[in-house]
Amino acid sequence: MENAKADEYFGYTEKGGTFDGEIRAGFTTFLTMAYILLVNPAMLTVAIGDGTEAGNAAAFADILFATAVAAFIGCTVMGLWANLPFALAPGMGLNAYFTFGVVLGMGIAWEVALFAVFVEGILFMIMSLPQVGWRTAMINSIPTDLKIATGAGIGMFLSIIGLREMGWIRDDSATLVNIADTEKWGATSYGIPDGWCFETDFDTGECLDVQNGYFELGNYGLHQEGAIIGMLALIAIAVLMARGIKGAMIYGIIVASLYGWAVGASDPYNFYFEGAPGWGSHEATAPALASIVSMPSMPETTLFAAFGDAGMGALEKSNMGDFLLVMIAFLFVDIFDTSGTLYSVGRQAGYVDENDELMNSNEAFMSDAAATIVGGMLGTSTTTTYIESAAGVEDGGKTGLVAVTVGVLMLSGLFLTDLFAAIPQYAMASALVIVGAMMMRQAADIDWNDAEMALPAFITMVMMPFTYSIADGIAWGIISWVAIKAGMGKFDEINKVMGGLCVLMIMFYIGPGDESTFGWILGLAGF
């Protein structure tokens, strides 16, 4: 009976799905993006924490609460209202910009930055209202081939993220990207090098705490190398999918995690001292049974901080210019990230109609905006639709029941933090590479014989992995398309929306001196 009511509401049978399949797809999506429950608090604590052990711990707990609740609300609204299988959470990239670009870089108080997130969400909501329709008009005005290229570009973006997190590629000062140091596998220990500086004086650049001598973190045999385990999981998932086995990604992630826990495998993405981010543990370790379940608490520091004396109350003419620039940047990235993800994953899920329009797009955009507003109130950076949603779609997800499942699981992160933290990064990342490969199928639908479209489509695709930004890829795809059409003298083919977007994007990226045009204009206005 319960399943019948769910089917009546979500209509998954009509769309070729099943109740079990929708729940399984939700688990798949969640497992590929559960890292945000730890990464987002870890990153934002750098901006919000007071630097003490107790203060940082309190900030981490507050931000974890905000992350889980914002994701829960966004996913639930997306599922119940828009009935689309898209998951939401505080966005990677946006949280880095919040921390390192706005708070640490520009010196803006984190409370003011949270208020900028809140205002951006309000504007996002207004633009998405059916009565206004700006967001829908924008996405529908972009040429079809550019939107298809967005999906393929997101596939490439997912793949570079996945390969990096699996430990198969690394940064290189000479070639930008290179294959990992495979010669270390099973032979050389990982550790903290002699002379490593743990703490630097922010003002003078002087090292305050240096590592004396080499300190070994671990020495792993080939059977313990996370990169190899991740690659085997990747191949196993591909084989299971080729055999038509449902839940292949979940099985791959779970088996890779269990094996890693059993042998104490390395997790190469978390070897901070080897050039990796290091948000989690560098070794796969099963969670202690006694600590798997923990009770959350309401935020003490971040809750409604955006509206306090240090947030909204601190705004005045002297800092209004910086505030507006930050708010515009948040809005720009949110608009293009969300639009690109919704269209691309929606096309993969069959939610783009014969007119090349995303079904229920207004509801989807407003769900995204609602989650951003709630996140700003609770204490986290912009919440957005996740490209990892493609994992659940590829696993058979059809309706909003997938999103609701992800939302409930995100909320459970408040109670099962240690369990989710123990899932190795290499295990989760293997699913991202599979999804990336599946999304690249869309590139075949682009008319590569159209000389006026080939370059913009290509730029859209390659800029996403190269800049680590969906927004940058879409923006420069639009700019190059308009420029080529203008160069051909085909001004009649440039609609008002595309022309306006091109001008706005150029203003965002380019300006006099070291400012964007937006910053220059605000300066002329006296801000």
Residue 295 has pLDDT above 50, yes or no: yes
For residue 175, the SS3 value is: coil
Distance CA 504, CA 376 (A): 25
- Written as six digits, the tokens of 374 are 């709630």
> Are 213 and 311 in the same domain?
no
pLDDT of residue 372: 93
Question: 294 lies in which domain range?
Answer: 2-185+220-524
The mean pLDDT value for 195-216 works out to: 78
> Are 326 and 215 in the same domain?
no
Q: Phi then psi for 474, rounded to 5 degrees?
A: -65, -45
> Are 302 and 206 in the same domain?
no
Q: What is the pLDDT of residues 68-125, one digit of tens each?
A: 999 999 999 999 999 999 999 998 767 877 887 788 777 889 999 999 999 999 998 9
> Are 76 and 213 in the same domain?
no
Distance CA 92, CA 72 (A): 17
> Are 214 and 300 in the same domain?
no
> Are 196 and 129 in the same domain?
no
pLDDT of residue 491: 93
> Are 316 and 282 in the same domain?
yes
Q: What is the pLDDT of residues 465-487, one digit of tens each?
A: 898 877 788 889 999 999 999 99
The answer to whether 111 and 308 have CB atoms below 8 angstroms apart is yes
> Are 108 and 190 in the same domain?
no
Percent of the chain with pLDDT over 90: 29
The last residue of one of the domains, among 219, 243, 267, is 219
The last residue of one of the domains, among 175, 195, 219, is 219
Global confidence as pTM: 0.75
The last residue of one of the domains, among 172, 204, 219, is 219
> Are 440 and 467 in the same domain?
yes
Residue 378 has pLDDT above 50, yes or no: yes
Q: What is the pLDDT of residues 23-77, one digit of tens each?
A: 999 999 998 888 788 778 877 887 898 877 778 778 888 898 999 999 999 999 9
Which string of DSSP letters, residue by residue, matches 460-495?
A: HHHHHHHHT-HHHHHHHHHHHHHHHHHHTT-GGGS-
pLDDT of residue 233: 94
pLDDT of residue 279: 59
- Alpha carbon distance, N-terminus to C-terminus of the chain: 61
> Are 286 and 177 in the same domain?
yes
**Would residue 459 be called left, alpha or beta, if left means φ above 0 and alpha means ψ between -120 and 50 degrees?**
alpha
- Written as six digits, the tokens of 298 are 């309401």
Domain count across the chain: 2
Distance CA 227, CA 424 (A): 11
> Are 136 and 215 in the same domain?
no
Distance CA 448, CA 472 (A): 21
> Are 113 and 161 in the same domain?
yes
